[in-house]
Amino acid sequence: MLHSGAVDDVAALVDRIWRSDAAGMLGALSRRLGDFDRAEEALSDALAEALKRWPGEGVPDSPAGWLVTTGWRKALDRLRRDAVAREKTARLAAEPPPEPGVDDRLAMIFACCHPDLAEPARVALTLYAAGGLSTAEIAAAFLVPLPTMAQRLSRAKRQLRERGIRFEMPTPQEYADRLSSVLAVIYLVFNEGYLSTGRSAQRGELAREGVELARQLAALLPREPEAAGLAALLELHHARAAARFDSWGRIVLLEQQDRRLWDEPAIERAALRLRSAVRQGRPGPYQVRAGIAALHALAVSYAATDWADVRSLYDRLYALDPSPVVLLNRAVATRFAAGPAQALEEVDALADRLAGYHLWHATRADLLATLDRPAEALASAERALELASNPAERELMSRRVGELRRRL
């Protein structure tokens, strides 16, 4: 319990609960009410009520349960004021308040990934409803103005309501139409927590939510190797969480990380999960990404990494996901497998597609510096700094810029 008057502590707690369990709470209310907008309004009312009452009364033992129960009551109050909804109110009032649970989180994601919604709307709505991101944070992630993203989210929610899309798990026959989007949005939720596009360098609670959602999906679909591949991938990345930032909050690159801080049991479990998925004989991009992460995680040191195998896996990934970012990552492996000169050729070949991507410039700066071309390296590093938005990445690039300037 918090003491009376701890308003700032309560506000911070409410924010953490919203960010960590938005999907469960919204899913529980949406499932029962059958209306995302009403669920969102009800939960917003409950959050406001918590900010008023918890500083004086203390925080309940189950904050999320309290918020859902209070939101449920607020929703009933709103319905009672709506003459058109009297019959529905009478039916709902006789039912007990819903409890947020695992199925509600996945049901929320599957609903947001309904094939009737356009792909950008699916991702944005899921980040909002399941990831707890604000409209402003999602707008920043998509590099669009705030009003544009607000309209996109409003339109997506309206489509859900108008088409009567229920917030419940689809039938097994419907999984195939939604699975690729569900995998993509869970991956995005994790990535936003792993290295945030917002003002924070990382959002640990969101990364953990992504890992948990991936595990739940893998348990729900044991015969879908890509679900297991995604879970293994996120587990492998998350196992390095303790070594990714130093005590000042600065990024620690993979080659400099203290591997003693890595969660070795988690790495072993993820590798076992991945091997089981691969044995099903249906390869996919998440399994290949997990394979690359496993090569890094299982190597005894950065220098001992099997870079030829890493590069080969990137070739396989590009065949499944022909993205220029995949080729950029392959070039990093090329640096160690075949030398920095060949790697630079591969990076320069991507100039027309990645000139606006800060990591393209950062990778190019590293290669140019290795090839003893500090003036060109400095220009690339300065451009990477201009394009980077994450504060930890900006700090890292600032250090690189300073080092290169001292070399001139």
Q: Return mean pLDDT, the chain.
A: 84
pTM score of the predicted model? 0.73
Asked whether residue 331 carries a pLDDT value surpassing 60, the answer given is yes
Least confidently predicted of 155-159, 374-378, 384-388: 155-159
Asked whether residue 119 carries a pLDDT value surpassing 60, the answer given is yes
140 vs 348, residue with greater confidence: 348
For residue range 6-41, list pLDDT tens digits in order. Answer: 566 777 777 777 766 776 777 777 767 767 777 778
For residue range 341-353, list pLDDT tens digits in order. Answer: 999 999 999 999 9
Tokens at 97, concatenated: 């308040």
Asked whether residue 243 carries a pLDDT value surpassing 60, the answer given is yes
Confidence of residue 87 (pLDDT cuts 50, 70, 90): low
Asked whether residue 43 carries a pLDDT value surpassing 60, the answer given is yes
- pLDDT number for residue 97: 56
Contacts of residue 140, defined as CB under 8 A and 6 or more positions apart, other chains included, come to: 197, 198, 389
- pLDDT number for residue 284: 96
Contacts of residue 362, defined as CB under 8 A and 6 or more positions apart, other chains included, come to: 380, 381, 384, 388, 397, 400
Q: Which of 196, 212, 242 is nearest to 130 (CA)?
A: 212
Contacts of residue 55, defined as CB under 8 A and 6 or more positions apart, other chains included, come to: 2, 4, 5, 6, 7, 10
Confidence of residue 102 (pLDDT cuts 50, 70, 90): very low
Least confidently predicted of 11-15, 103-107, 123-127, 390-394: 103-107
d(CA 157, CA 40): 10
SS3 382: helix
- pLDDT number for residue 143: 61
- pLDDT number for residue 14: 75
